[in-house]
Structure 1
Amino acid sequence: MNVEIESSSKIVLPALSPGRWVRPNLLLVLFGINAEQARKYRDRGFWLENKHWRFDPIRRVVYNPTEIENWFEGKL
């Protein structure tokens, strides 16, 4: 018994743009950097506090994807 299913419906996902400050789990999607790698960049001084990362009002670390992208491109 052969069954063929034709579907003309398409799933359309909205384009998402990250905010100015994002949580570490979004870094994995944007840059392929996991939370542990991001912590090492912070601890070793590669990423600067209040430029590449900061604490949000409830003391969670958040990151600035625009500045991180500039860092990747060598723009200091």
Structure 2
Amino acid sequence: MQPDYKVLIDIVKMPMPFGKYKGTLLCDLPVSYLEWMHSKGMPAGKLGMMLSTVYEIKINGLTSLLQTVKSKVG
């Protein structure tokens, strides 16, 4: 099974569509907000999957991965 790199590209391009951080790119959401969302339950569908991915990346200290993708995508 191959990873879907398009998900990372979407994460660095897509703004949060609602809430306190509406308009903030998903990759730029603070860990505290992602932890709160995780405890409340991530939304269903693709948005929830992308938020969960950002959450896992950030809590595992891999934020540089998102920064690299963001710099390549522009």
Q: TM-score, normalised by structure 2?
A: 0.26
Structure with the larger helix share: 2
| Larger of the two Rg values belongs to structure | 1
- The higher-RCO structure (CA 8 Å, 6+ apart) is 2
Structure with greater proportional strand content = 1
TM-score (norm 1): 0.26
